[in-house]
Amino acid sequence: MTVRAIVFDAYGTLYDVQSVRGLAARLCGDKGELITQIWRLKQLEYTWLRGLMRSYEDFWSTTRAALEFALESIGIAPTPALCDPLMAKYLDLDPYPEAREALGALSGYKLAILSNGSPKMLDALVHASGIAGLLADVISVDRAKTYKPDPKCYELVAPALCVANHEVLFVSSNGFDVAGAKCFGFRVAWIERGGAAAAPEPGPAGFYRLLRARAERLGYPADFRIAALSDLAPLVASLGD
């Protein structure tokens, strides 16, 4: 089947959520690594809770609440002096090194982002990383007022890009997102960012990878497994028309 649109998750797929840890370490010393991992895990958990509770608040608010939880959970007061710079980093996360070149190699397709990020957050990210001009659309789940993996989020793609669902290749490094997109009906490429076959190092980062860098066991596996964004162009070429 023809691929006309390639749609990317943002956080963990195009942008490295772990790039907050350098700043977290500077601000919080040896607790910075633990804060980084608790923050991301709680951020995801809060999106799922808000979706289930049908109590939507945008990703900026949700991310701030998760950060405050992470700090308080290890006995650090969530003061503006700590929270404000850490939140600001989410507007300028490091893109993965191959991201821009990989997107450029796919210029013959409609490229887009579908992300939990709020419009403000995503606009800041794509402009800071210089990829805005490569994208046909930057789709925030804010349009659906819920979070992935709710099918309402994936439903935003086809009308935004004027394509059919079967013409979409969805790309994510997040297992829950892979399962959600596959259950919805997209073809899905999973980027195995954590090196799923390798044993993680001990500590908070290793624990995070054990939970979030592996395929979910829900019966909705990815159609394709790749190691990096740079593997996409050869993959799509191999699918033909």
pLDDT for the residue numbered 195: 57
Q: Tell me the pLDDT band of 210, cut-offs 50, 70 and 90.
A: confident
Picking from 113, 96, 131, 140, the residue whose alpha carbon sits closest to that of residue 229 is 96
Which pTM does this prediction carry? 0.95
CATH number of 5-16+94-239: 3.40.50.1000
pLDDT for the residue numbered 207: 83
Picking from 12, 194, 32, 39, the residue whose alpha carbon sits closest to that of residue 93 is 12
Q: Is the pLDDT of residue 211 over 90?
A: no
CA of 47: how far to CAs of 19, 88, 129, 145, 219, in Å?
Answer: 21, 19, 25, 11, 22
Is 9 among the catalytic positions? Answer: yes
The tokens for 71 are 């700090």
So where are the chain's domains? 5-16+94-239, 17-89
pLDDT for the residue numbered 214: 85
DSSP 180: H
Q: What is the pLDDT of residues 109-151, one digit of tens each?
A: 999 999 999 999 999 999 999 999 999 999 999 999 999 999 9
Residue in the structure block whose two tokens are 């404000």: 84
Range name among 24-28, 181-185, 201-205, 229-233 with the lowest pLDDT average:
201-205
Q: What is the pLDDT of residues 74-113, one digit of tens each?
A: 999 999 999 999 999 999 999 999 999 999 999 999 999 9
Q: Candidates 3.40.50.300, 1.20.1440.230, 1.10.630.10, 1.10.150.240; correct CATH number of 17-89?
A: 1.10.150.240
- Which of 9, 16, 58, 177 is an active site residue? 9
Q: Tell me the pLDDT band of 241, cut-offs 50, 70 and 90.
A: low
